[in-house]
Amino acid sequence: MRNGSSVARLPSDLAESLQCHNGVSAWTTILPEQSPLAVSGIVDHWQTCMDVAAENDGLTPRAWEVDPWWHPLWVPWAESADGAAQVIDQRPGPDTGRLGWAGHSGGGDFTDSWPDLASLLHAVAQALHEGGDVRGLHPYLTTQGGLWWDEEGCGELHGHPLRTAPIGLP
pLDDT band at 22 (very low <50, low <70, confident <90, very high): confident
Residue 31 to residues 4, 6, 158, Cα–Cα distance (Å): 33, 30, 19
Domain-embedded: residue 53: yes
Query: Do 47 and 107 fall into the same domain?
Result: yes
Q: Does position 151 have pLDDT exceeding 70, yes or no?
A: yes
Q: What is the pLDDT of residues 87-126, one digit of tens each?
A: 999 999 999 999 999 988 888 999 999 999 999 999 999 9
Q: Which domain holds residue 137?
A: 131-164
Query: Do 80 and 109 fall into the same domain?
Result: yes
DSSP 122-143: HHHHHHHHH---BTTBEEEE-T
Provide the whole-model pTM. 0.88
The dihedrals phi and psi of 79, each to the nearest 5 degrees, come to: -130, 150
Domain-embedded: residue 43: yes
How far apart are alpha carbons 59 and 49 in whole angstroms?
10
Position with higher pLDDT, 105 vs 40: 40
- State how far Cα 22 lies from the chain centre: 14
Query: Do 17 and 45 fall into the same domain?
Result: yes
Q: Does position 140 have pLDDT exceeding 70, yes or no?
A: yes
Task: Tally the domains of the chain.
Answer: 2
- Return the percentage of the chain with pLDDT > 90, whole number: 63
Query: Do 61 and 10 fall into the same domain?
Result: yes
Domain-embedded: residue 124: no
Query: Do 74 and 151 fall into the same domain?
Result: no
Domain-embedded: residue 126: no
Query: Do 44 and 93 fall into the same domain?
Result: yes
SS3 at position 68: coil
The dihedrals phi and psi of 35, each to the nearest 5 degrees, come to: -120, 120
> What is the chain's alpha carbon radius of gyration, rounded to the nearest angstrom?
17
